[in-house]
Structure 1
Amino acid sequence: MEQMLLTKYGFAAQKIARKMLTIEVNQRIPRISDFASELSLGRGTIQGALRFLEENQAIRVESRGHLGTFLLAKDNHKLLQFSGIGQLIGAMPLPYSKKYEGLATGLTKAFKKKDLPFHLAYMRGSLPRVKAMLDGRYDFAIVSRLAAELICKQDPAVQIGLTFGPFSYVSGHSIFLSHPEYTRIESGMKIGIDHTSDDQRELTLAECEGLDVTFIELSYMNLLDMLEIGQIDAAIWNKDEVGRNAPLMKQIPLSRSHAKKIEQKITEACLLIKAEQTELQTILSMLSVEEILETQKKVETKQILPHY
């Protein structure tokens, strides 16, 4: 009997903690009867769970008579602990560009502002990032809108949690050529491709459609090095890195209409989560996308230093 009560109290405390994460200080909280009805638990169990959260200094509430009960203070770190979520960990691309550094800084600042424990990890390739998320290593993954739509279509267990608008992920892409006399991608050329990157793979296939080329499988980060030593003739790469890694290499814009259409989706950053994580979706709704993008722009324009 005692074990059953502990389990019921624990379940109630977990659900109420998750709800408190979404309620701002000085807002009214649901009535005990509302919690009891929603969770199919007795009023005494709900009262015990609320008392547990208060005694552990996760929340502080005040009854104001007929006006209801209001949240006076909360500790998001403790609420996350009692909710069973713990520290939130996200995976995003390696921060090799100012745009990625800006996005990482914006996310870090946004979570810190809400007093939510947060950490970023960095992985190359949208598919490995999402696989690691589904395996439970990360809570969310940052990818382009193109990759997000492809992945969500293939796997209903994944859904988009946040979108950040055009040019939040990359500024665009160019075709990089190994020799200055080249003017376009032609049949007979060796083309670098990274199949772990939905973006680079789809752009490359679209730009080479109808041509008799040889695709050379390479890591995205090695494409320019292979161009420089002549192992491949052309590759599509992120324009945000042009100045730093390819100042002397010939580049031309994308030429195929299908590739240009695909590129529009690649410029936007999306945050993917597991569809079952409804509580994480609620937490994400607390973040200000506008403030994240403002911070990103300040990092890109060197108004502030990146911090992530």
Structure 2
Amino acid sequence: MSDTSKLFYTKNGYAAMKIARRLLSLEAGERIPRIDDFVKQLSTGRGTVQGALKLLEEMKAVCLETRGHMGTFLIQKDEAALWEVAGLGRLVGVMPLPYSRKYEGLATGLMESFESQGIPFSLAYMRGAAHRIETLRHGRYDFAVVSRFAGEVAVQKTKELQLVKGLGSGSYVSGHEVFFSNPRETVIRDGMYVGIDPSSTDQALLTEYECKEKRVQWVEISYMQLLDMLKEGKIDAAVWNKDEVKFSLPLGRGKLQSRQAYETSLAMSEAVVVTAHKTEEFYPIIDRLDPVQVRRVQQMVEQGETYPRY
């Protein structure tokens, strides 16, 4: 058992753990809650709160300055030390499988952003926004990366979730197109067999919009199999993001014909971070993600200027 873990078994140590979680959300220069506020929140005595603050200073997790009637201010903090005292463990997010350079870049950008804050962090990968949201709701992960469209739909459906941070237009996909097994095809026609993945909120909805008023046959498959089934001629068409498709593939391709599909696709281009209320202590940490930094790293990976790391 580490020395930090042993602290949790003392009154001061337990209070320090709770206070550390609160201080993680503050920036240097901000005023911290009053001792009386901590006393009320933690249902403990003033002496315990004062001892906990002193303990955090002795561990060099924070540097505090008292300014009389103005209160106490956070002058400096060691994110990694505070995180350890807070006992939050490793922050774990879940995002799409990194099958494209864009997703490899997104994963790398997230890793570098959290690591620059001194936060222990790892990523898991799972296909389908619906699956990622469901595992988030059940507490398997601390946050999920989905498209803005899928995130807003999920938040509207349940009050358990919150959309915390957007990462900028084009951070999730560059756009969507329709791909065909016949290289000469450019539009979906009646009688075609069209691939659809019900677990992918974005792909399923765009497919439904694009095929509205057309007499087509749905073929339910995983989006990971779409391109293979197109190449093998097992389906005639599929709507998919154009980041994954190599231009050398002998497939037909065409723009979305449905205005509804096109406009919805635009709302699906941005990656967002969604959390559950049961992990609300992570909100401030995730909210400090720098979209500019994440996108810069992502674009460097996409352009081959740096290696992906995830």
Q: Determine the structure 2 residue equivalent to 1:220.
A: 223
Deviations 1:159-200 (A, max 9, x none): 101111211100011111111343421121110011110011
Partner Cα separation in structure 1 for residue 11 and residue 190 of structure 2: 68
The reply to whether residue 35 of structure 1 matches residue 38 of structure 2 is yes
* 1:220-256 deviation per Cα after TM superposition (whole angstroms, max 9, x unaligned): 0111111111111101111011227x63211001000
Helix, strand or coil at the partner of 2:98: coil
Measure the CA separation in 2 of the matches of 1:287 and 1:264. Answer: 23
CA contact (8 A) 1:61 1:69 kept: no
1:284 aligns to what?
Answer: 286
TM-score of the two chains, using structure 2 as the length reference: 0.88
User: Displacement, 1:146?
Assistant: 1.2
In structure 2, what is the equivalent of residue 262 of structure 1? 264
CA distance, structure 1, for counterparts of residue 152 and residue 31 of structure 2: 38
Q: Deviations over 1:114-172 (max 9, x none)?
A: 10110011111111111111222110000001111111111211110111121110001
- Among 91, 97, 100, which residue is 1:97 paired with? 100
- Which one-letter code corresponds to 1:111 in the other structure? F
Shift of 1:65: 5.8
- How far is the alpha carbon of 1:83 from its aligned partner? 2.6
Match of 1:186 among 173, 185, 189: 189
- Hey, what does 1:114 align to over in structure 2? 117
2:235 pairs, out of 232, 247, 256, with 232
Which stretch of the first structure deviates more once superposed, 271-280 or 216-225?
271-280
Q: Among residues 297, 300, 306, which one is paired with 1:298 in the alignment? A: 300
> 1:190–1:233: 8 Å Cα contact kept in structure 2?
yes
The answer to whether the 8 A contact 2:175-2:265 is kept is yes
Matched, 1:133 2:146: no
Distance 1:80 1:60, change over 3 A: closer
User: How much identity, in percent, do the aligned residues show?
Assistant: 45
Closer/same/farther in 2, CA of residues 276 and 62 from structure 1, 3 Å limit: closer
Q: Does 1:169 align with 2:151?
A: no
* CA deviations over 1:243-296 (Å, ceiling 9, x no partner): 27x632110010001100110111111111003433211112222222111211
Q: Using the alignment, how far apart are the partners of 2:60 and 2:198 within structure 1? A: 46
Residue 80 (str. 1) matches residue 83 (str. 2): yes
In 2, Cα distance between the equivalents of 1:190 and 1:167?
A: 29
CA separation of 1:227/1:152 partners in 2, compared to 1, >3 Å: closer, same or farther?
same
CA shift in 2, pair 1:135/1:58, >3 Å: farther
- Give, in angstroms, the shift of residue 101 of structure 1: 1.2
**What are the ranges of 5 or more consecutive residues in structure 1 without an aligned counterpart?**
none
* Paired position in structure 1 for 2:3: none
Deviates more, 1:43-52 or 1:211-220: 43-52
**Which residue is equivalent to 1:155?**
158
